[in-house]
Structure 1
Amino acid sequence: MGACCSIGVHKFEGFMMNFEDDEKGSEVENEDYIKNGDCEARLQGSSKFVSMFTKQGRKGINQDAMTVWQNFTGEKDMFFCGVFDGHGPLGHKVARHVRDILPSKLSSSYKHSQTNGFNGSDDTDEENKNNNDNGNCHNPFLSSWKATLIKSFKEMDEDLSAESTIDSFCSGTTAVALLKQGDHLVTANLGDSRAVLCTRGNNNKLVSVQLTVDLKPNLELEAERIKKCEGRVFAMDEEPDVFRVWMPDEDCPGLAMARAFGDFCLKDFGLISTPEISYRKLTNRDEFVVLATDGVRKT
């Protein structure tokens, strides 16, 4: 199974998703929209500049979730997109819970930081210092969002651990999120879902650029952290190319990623919910971005 969300990026001025016009000619029901003040969110379907699609695979229930927010944080040209790939017995509930709660947390935290003049640019936390900002550490847009993303992801995981209606001890979800305003693009990645940019290269041909790194347990820094926390990383004989995270004394749960929301059975053994954050300044050669779960590229 897989889910993907694509959003156009090359029209910086007047970049709007016309939900009202789209809704008139769409079969999508009203419950697929959320309105919070000036913000509007889409949970499925498409509009003039956004397309969302998910398909159930052969493993059982579809555990993917996604959302797109227009006028995010109340700013007219701010967009938030997120794709979440659940795993484990209740992964579908975890993914949908994060989809429904994380955007509001981000928005509230961002507004609070702007009001108090805090941008978090001096953050030197060990888990965050390896984030890929491509030398843009003094970029105001990145600075204003980086600390907000890290803080909100941490709070989201804490809330999930306290959520009595969802047992996320052995269930969790990935998250790949995008924030766009004007020609600024910030991505936050947790797990192995991907953000891929379609741009125009030589001879005006379309070229794909992967904006995120699959945070697998066998990556050097990820494996180092997990082993330092007494977690184990190895691949099973029947899947020699799939490295997984295991508890110190038990061959479970075998999680195939190094970062995720939930999965609290591994949180003491190196699994973290800190996103890897990257920035890109868009140009008129950039066409659109696709956010997708790993099920899309495996099919």
Structure 2
Amino acid sequence: MDLFDDLPEPTQAGQHLSAAVAVLPLSTKEDKCAKRKREDEESPMVRNEEEEENKKVCREGLPLLRGYVAARRGERDEMQDAHVLLPDMSPCLAALPSQVSQVSYFAVFDGHGGARASRFAAEHLHHTLAKKFPQGETDNLDKLIKKCLLDTFRQTDEDFLKKASSQKPAWKDGSTATCMLVLDDVVYVANLGDSRAVLCRMEADGGATATLALSKEHNPTIYEERMRIQRAGGTVRDGRVLGVLEVSRSIGDGQYKRCGVISTPDLRRCQLTSNDRFIILACDGLFKVFSADEAVKFVLDIFQEGGADQKLMDKEEQFEAACQQLASEAVRRGCADNVTVILVSIDF
């Protein structure tokens, strides 16, 4: 049984990607003394050039990810969302697993009851993740990444609750979390609450597009979530925990943890292919007025219907414009909540 709820396997067009990042072994066993002597004779500039060339070889065939963000306060008095864009997370890590060349991290946090939980998660979760991240030789990377993500969410929740309970009066903030970790061409999404992540994938013939859900929502109306809450002694009224909290999993919300609200994320894994265009991560402010399919279509329509002005824009400008217009359209459609949208472009 797989550790993650996998999405559909990549199409034939993308099956070559894993092979492209295989690390080539050194040729025959080389005399260590001779090798060291040769390295000593080389100038630092030569070694640096070789290192850069090796990095290029390792990265060949891997996706280039760029993140764009748009945030709208809506009709709320306070912006309670937070976000993180780390197209290159390597500086945060002590070392990478031996079979991994690049790591990216993107996250959206939708706060409720205040902005302190979402801001805390945005500031600390990826640093906790970096401390727990697997290094060196690894036999089962999926298993280690799963454990790393689960431990990170648990630790982040515990750290915030400890800080919240020490305040006078105690903080009652909570936050959803949708975090996307990308190792080379494999996406891992960890999700708590009702923010979402969706992938736009083109069909192999370049025609129709498919919208793939990369996350699972957690609210008290879902049978398994409601049963857990009730077993813990809590109740669900009007679709909310104790008639108040709209989500059944979150960071923070210390007053609801005894009622079955947990910080264990749902985990999904997906291998990217050359047919993939972009990923949308957004809080429920977007998805209250857009279905996942509508959001993807809205972005594609902006790319296709921009006319002459759109053609003059480079790809980065197109994605930036699409991200901003998607968030603005959510507000125009009547969403009174905070709206945060991260649009991640995928280029092979």
Amino acid at match of 2:89: N
Distance across 2 between alignment mates of 1:172 and 1:189: 14
Residues 48 and 260 of structure 1: CA distance in aligned 2, closer, same or farther (over 3 Å): closer
- 1:272 is matched with which residue? 262
Amino acid at match of 1:153: F
Residues 115 and 182 of structure 1: CA distance in aligned 2, closer, same or farther (over 3 Å): closer
Q: Is residue 104 of structure 2 the alignment partner of residue 104 of structure 1?
A: no
Q: Is residue 285 of structure 2 the alignment partner of residue 295 of structure 1?
A: yes
Amino acid at match of 1:159: D
- 1:284 is matched with which residue? 274
Residues 102 and 166 of structure 1: CA distance in aligned 2, closer, same or farther (over 3 Å): farther
Structure 1 stretches of 4+ with a deviation exceeding 3 A read 114-117, 164-169
Structure 1's unaligned 5+ residue stretches are 1-9, 15-46, 120-139, 236-242
Q: Is residue 230 of structure 2 the alignment partner of residue 227 of structure 1?
A: yes
Amino acid at match of 1:283: T
Deviation per CA, 1:103-127: give whole Å up to 9, x if none: 000010114xx3696x8xxxxxxxx
- 1:63 is matched with which residue? 80
Residues 48 and 79 of structure 1: CA distance in aligned 2, closer, same or farther (over 3 Å): closer
Distance across 2 between alignment mates of 1:168 and 1:48: 40
TM value normalised by structure 2 = 0.58
Distance across 2 between alignment mates of 1:151 and 1:233: 28
Residues 48 and 146 of structure 1: CA distance in aligned 2, closer, same or farther (over 3 Å): closer
Partner of 1:81, secondary structure, is strand
Give the Å deviation of 1:169: 4.7
Q: Which moved more, 1:99-108 or 1:201-210?
A: 201-210
Give the Å deviation of 1:143: 1.5
Distance across 2 between alignment mates of 1:151 and 1:166: 28
Residues 220 and 116 of structure 1: CA distance in aligned 2, closer, same or farther (over 3 Å): farther
- 1:51 is matched with which residue? 68
Which structure features the higher share of helix residues?
A: 2
Deviation per CA, 1:166-223: give whole Å up to 9, x if none: 9665320000001112221110001000010011136522322111111111111111
Q: Which moved more, 1:257-266 or 1:140-149?
A: 140-149
Residues 169 and 271 of structure 1: CA distance in aligned 2, closer, same or farther (over 3 Å): farther
Residues 200 and 269 of structure 1: CA distance in aligned 2, closer, same or farther (over 3 Å): same
- 2:214 is matched with which residue? 211
- 2:311 is matched with which residue? none
Q: Is the 8 A contact 1:178 1:185 kept in 2?
A: yes
Q: Is residue 72 of structure 2 the alignment partner of residue 82 of structure 1?
A: no
Structure 2's unaligned 5+ residue stretches are 1-13, 22-63, 289-329, 331-348
Which structure features the higher share of strand residues?
A: 1
Distance across 2 between alignment mates of 1:55 and 1:166: 31
Partner of 1:287, secondary structure, is strand
Amino acid at match of 2:123: D
Aligned length: 219
- 1:159 is matched with which residue? 159
Deviation per CA, 1:210-242: give whole Å up to 9, x if none: 11111111111111100000111121xxxxxxx
Distance across 2 between alignment mates of 1:62 and 1:277: 27
What are the equivalent positions in structure 2 for 1:1-299 lying under 5 Å apart?
Answer: 49-69=66-86, 70-72=88-90, 73=93, 74-75=95-96, 77-88=102-113, 90=114, 92-111=115-134, 114=135, 140-163=140-163, 164=166, 169-201=171-203, 204-235=207-238, 243-246=239-242, 254-298=244-288, 299=330
Identity %: 30
Partner of 2:182, secondary structure, is strand
Distance across 2 between alignment mates of 1:179 and 1:58: 31
